[in-house]
Structure 1
Amino acid sequence: MAFVFPPEYAALEPFADWALPTEKARYAKRIASTMDELDAFYNAAFPFLQSGTEYLQQVSMQDISEEEKHLLWLFCALVTVAFSVEAWRQPKVPDTGAASIDAVVEPAV
């Protein structure tokens, strides 16, 4: 079986669809998700945040594998959904109308 993430993070495989390479794609997925979906993702990924951060700090960006890239993108998605789960309890930013995020440049990976 091929893993999307490093084997140590196999428990996150059901959430592989959150490993999106751009901020715009992650934001669009958040907006299109229900709170139940956001909660499920957040509750599964958050416990791995510290160990995942420590793991990724040991990875050279020049030598990053596809699995490690996907893990990095998954944790970027976790940041994208955190306020929705922790504060707003809705996918959209409250009281902002048609707000959107348009990244001009993505982080290099």
Structure 2
Amino acid sequence: MMSKHTLPARFEGLQAFLDWAQPTETLRLSKRESSSLEDIREFYDAMLADMPEIIAYLRDAASYAQADASTRTLYTLMLSFADASLSMELHKSPTVPDGMPWEIWKPEHETSGWSKKPAIELKPA
């Protein structure tokens, strides 16, 4: 499958994993849970090897809103790595064993009107 997304030149070795660069938390979770543990490991190992450079690159990049498209794709790929790391390091499974099916859970920040909710005020007891 051809992707319109690209990565910064120094991370071209990760091009094979662009299908992991999903734009929302729900889509990233769906990608992880629909992948085999072997596919997750392949992605995880490739990202882990470059993670120090990825973090340094993103630390030096402009803010997300001002970053170019390839840098934003790299950032999204890093978010997918965080999801994949749960499968590899904690669950040893693409899904959360004995967990709630992801289809019934929707991240609040992906629901309509979430940004209009009143701010939470923290007050001392």
Unaligned 5+ runs, structure 2: 111-125
Could you say which structure has the greater relative contact order, defined with CA pairs below 8 angstroms and 6 or more residues apart? 1
Contact 2:28 2:83 in 1 (8 A): yes
Aligned-pair Cα RMSD in Å = 1.7
Aligned with residue 25 of structure 1, among 24, 27, 30: 27
- The secondary structure found in structure 1 opposite 2:66 is coil
SS at match of 1:96: coil
In the alignment, residue 47 of structure 1 is paired with which amino acid?
Answer: A
Asked if structure 1 preserves the Cα contact closer than 8 Å seen for 2:18 and 2:77, the reply is yes
Partner residue in 2 for 1:105:
109
Greater radius of gyration (CA): 2
User: Aligned residue for 1:35?
Assistant: 37
Where in structure 1 are there 5+ consecutive unaligned residues? none
Contact 2:5–2:18 at 8 Å: present in 1 too?
no
Once the two structures are overlaid, the 10-residue window that deviates more, 96-105 or 28-37, is 96-105
SS in structure 1 opposite 2:22?
coil
Instruction: State the TM-score, normalized to the length of structure 2.
Output: 0.77
Classify the secondary structure of the residue corresponding to 1:90: coil
Instruction: Report the CA distance shift for 1:20/1:35 in structure 2 as closer, same or farther (over 3 A).
Output: same
Query: Aligned residue for 1:53?
Result: 55
Larger mean CA deviation between 6-15 and 47-56 belongs to 47-56
The equivalent residue for 2:67 is: 64
1:82 is matched with 85
Amino acid at match of 2:62: S
Counterpart AA for 1:102: K
* Count of residue pairs the alignment pairs up: 105
Residue 93 of structure 1 contacts residue 99 of structure 1 at CA under 8 Å; is this kept in 2? Answer: no
Paired letter, 2:83: T
CA contact (8 A) 1:42 1:78 kept: yes
